Structure 1
Amino acid sequence: MNNGSKKDRMFEKMLEQKKEVKIVRRIVFVVVLVLIIGGLIGGRAVYKYISGALQPVDPNSEEVIEVEIPIGSGLSSISEILEKKGLVKDAKIFKYYAKFNNESQFQAGSYGLTKAMTLDELIESLKTGKVYRTPVFTMTIPEGLTLDQIAKIVEKRAGIPEKEFLKYVNDEHTIADLMGRYPNILTEEIVAEDVRYPLEGYLFPATYPFFEEKPTVETVVTTMLDATSDNITPYFAYLESKEKSVHWLLTFASLLEREATSNTDRETIASVFYNRMDEGMPLQTDPTVLYALGEHKDRVLLSDLKVEDPYNTYVHTGLPPGPIANAGRSSIEAVIDPSVTDYFYFLADKNGKNYFAKTYEEHLQLKKEHISGD
């Protein structure tokens, strides 16, 4: 009886153990199944997310987003900048994509990028320092132009009416806003009492790409101011050492831009202007007279030289109140690094060739030899 009871209990225990094993197996099966299903779903979600992050943020976007990549930026910081600007969907994915493609040599600088750019296009732009996209149109602003002349080009190329452009660049509130956005180049000097137009000479001559069919007047102006800032920044240390301002530099350079006919002439004419200013002599440059008159003339008359205007360098010594045109890099560099001469005079013949003289007597002789009719 006892032996039978003992066998029965052992048998019942074996059944309970089998049942427990089955339950455990079922639990394990369910858990594994859940994990497998979850893994499949997670894998698909991750794959979908990564695939999406490798695509342009907005393939149809034409908005140009200004991006500044500081000197010394690494791939991680560049990736974060692009994500913050909304140009990539995920900074880490861009970072690993660049790493897997052995891309790391990126250039610091200012970029105009769009959400329509692919990761390869963004990488190519950051490597070459250029926007790796075909612009909708380009607009060329030559050297030596005034705001009035630039306005005509903007109307023709960008479709912004000349009056609208001029109203914007001379609006008091606009200028105040731009001064806040570009404090390094736009100072109180541009709104001094005798300055005719605040942004005269500050819209850098260059060929500009635009990636939208109808950019706003603000976009056009800030694009050119960005270029001015980029081209002037390398000279900040020089200006500080000489206790000179950006306004002084652009004003001086604008005179060279309107007077010179070659790069070497710019440097020599700069030396003439420096020499005259050192001696307290008026610069006596005809382009300032024409700017004072507000008109183009093939020949400046003696009566024109007497016009009372702050810009007339025949009447007033030193530089005029502000630039008389936009100056290119060559003229800016000529101000920074002029020739060293003893010249105080120069003149140009009908072919644009310049002749330089140390004395007024030499100048008169050159005038007699090369300027007919005088």
Structure 2
Amino acid sequence: MSNEHDSDSIEEKIRQARLVRRIVLTVIICIVALVIAVSAGGYFYITSALKPMDENSDETIEVEIPIGSSSAEIGRILEENGIIKNGTIFRYYVTYKNESGLQAGTYELSPSMDVNEIIDTLKEGTVIQEPEITFTIPEGTWFEDIAAIIAEATPHQEEDIMEELDEDYVETLVNQYDILGEEVLHSDVRYALEGYLFPAKYDYMEENPPVTAIIEDMIERMEEHVLRYSSQLEEKELSYHELLTLASIVEREAQKAEDRPKIAGVLFNRLEKGMRLEVDPTVAYAIGEHRYMTSYEDLETDSPYNTYRYEGLPPGPIASPGAPSIQAVVEPQEHDYIYFYARPNGDVIYNESYEEHRKVQETYRSEWKEAR
């Protein structure tokens, strides 16, 4: 009797095991099918977005691309005029293809054109009007100085510009741009958008462009330069915020192009060894004054931006880095240097030991006093 009971129990367990396997297999098949369906759907949607809106259309539409428009703005304008299906996909496609030189002007475009034809047309350009407002943000400029440059070129007051870019506004930008994360809202960060405004020449056809439009143009240009390195940053386990923080230090330290990847290499070497970065531009930023020469008293400034007192990276960027400094951080030069000394003439001397570095300091420190 017991044997029969045991036999029935075993058979029941076998049936249950088979049932569980069927359920698991069914679930796996459903998940795989769903992933394939979503991937296929995404692929076909993107492919469709790159094709003509209507390849049989004979219609031409006059489209105006303002001076200084980013690829994101151009995509939005093309979508609004019915030339392309999706402005966001256009923007990412331009970044993926590393296309540049899209020019402002008035164009006759057709829904029968695919994205590549549109890009080629925009690269050819048209005769354009002179801008009403133009200004240039130099590489390595502080956020406060950017506000001053905008105020000088436009009817906006510097104080109004600073007030308009408050935390509530920045929070909306965090949800809008990939490169902006919650780090910019940290209490230690002096200005949330420091380092995120791309240094370049900006032109506007309007006499009084909104402050927010100007700022968003700058962020969009920075995003175009940064997003192209997304896969490399993922491999290096480096966030956009960390990238721009390091790039801003490189920007403020290097005067010559060949020194940017070398200095970036020094910064990474120091971080890997758990050493403080000890770079003078962070001290100037901590003080809030541009310093031609850093004093011993300056080094005692108690600020999270002072890399002589605190380990690791400062809370955020200390200036707006240009494209070469960003690239230098993504592709730093590999070497064993952990010290560098910048001379007033722009030359940089690199060393592997502190003793060698101190000798260089003693040899050339008088140059800074004479250069003042």
Q: If the length of structure 2 is used for normalisation, what is the TM-score?
A: 0.70
Q: CA deviation at 1:56?
A: 3.8
Which is higher, the Rg of structure 1 or of structure 2? 1
| Partner SS for 1:208 | strand
* Residue in 2 that maps onto 1:166: 162
* Residue in 2 that maps onto 1:232: 226
Q: CA deviation at 1:243?
A: 2.0
* Residue in 2 that maps onto 1:155: 151
| Partner SS for 2:345 | coil
* Partner amino acid, structure 2, of 1:315: R
Q: Please say if 1:119 is aligned against 2:101.
A: no
**Alpha-carbon separation, structure 2, partners of 1:85 and 1:109:** 22
Q: CA deviation at 1:68?
A: 4.6
| Partner SS for 2:350 | strand
State whether residues 262 and 333 of structure 2, in contact with CA within 8 Å, keep that contact through their aligned partners in structure 1.
yes
| Partner SS for 1:209 | strand
State whether residues 69 and 108 of structure 1, in contact with CA within 8 Å, keep that contact through their aligned partners in structure 2.
no
Which whole-Å deviations, capped at 9, do the CAs of 1:242-297 have from their partners, x for residues lacking one? 22210000000000000111111111111111111111111100110110011122
* Residue in 1 that maps onto 2:328: 334
Q: 1:82 to 1:155 in 2, by over 3 A?
A: closer
**Any residues of structure 2 matched to 1:245-256 within 5 Å, and which?**
245-256=239-250
* Residue in 1 that maps onto 2:80: 85
Q: 1:224 to 1:118 in 2, by over 3 A?
A: same
**Any residues of structure 2 matched to 1:1-374 within 5 Å, and which?**
54=60, 56=62, 68=72, 84-86=79-81, 117-119=106-108, 127-129=121-123, 132=126, 133-134=128-129, 135-169=131-165, 171-182=166-177, 184-372=178-366
Unaligned runs of 5+ in 1: 1-49, 71-77, 92-105
Q: CA deviation at 1:209?
A: 2.2
Q: CA deviation at 1:129?
A: 3.7
* Partner amino acid, structure 1, of 2:147: A
Q: 1:112 to 1:321 in 2, by over 3 A?
A: farther
Q: CA deviation at 1:315?
A: 0.3
Q: CA deviation at 1:370?
A: 2.0
State whether residues 195 and 319 of structure 2, in contact with CA within 8 Å, keep that contact through their aligned partners in structure 1.
yes
Which whole-Å deviations, capped at 9, do the CAs of 1:121-154 have from their partners, x for residues lacking one? 9988753447643333322111000110001110
Structure 1: 4+ residue segments shifted above 6 A: 61-67, 106-114, 120-125
Q: 1:62 to 1:276 in 2, by over 3 A?
A: closer
How well do the aligned residues superpose, as a CA RMSD in angstroms? 3.3
* Partner amino acid, structure 2, of 1:180: N
* Partner amino acid, structure 1, of 2:221: A
Q: 1:197 to 1:279 in 2, by over 3 A?
A: same
State whether residues 256 and 346 of structure 2, in contact with CA within 8 Å, keep that contact through their aligned partners in structure 1.
no
**Alpha-carbon separation, structure 2, partners of 1:205 and 1:65:** 15
**Number of residue pairs matched by the alignment:** 293
Q: CA deviation at 1:352?
A: 2.5
**Alpha-carbon separation, structure 2, partners of 1:355 and 1:337:** 20
State whether residues 151 and 166 of structure 1, in contact with CA within 8 Å, keep that contact through their aligned partners in structure 2.
yes
* Partner amino acid, structure 2, of 1:179: V
**Alpha-carbon separation, structure 1, partners of 2:327 and 2:180:** 20
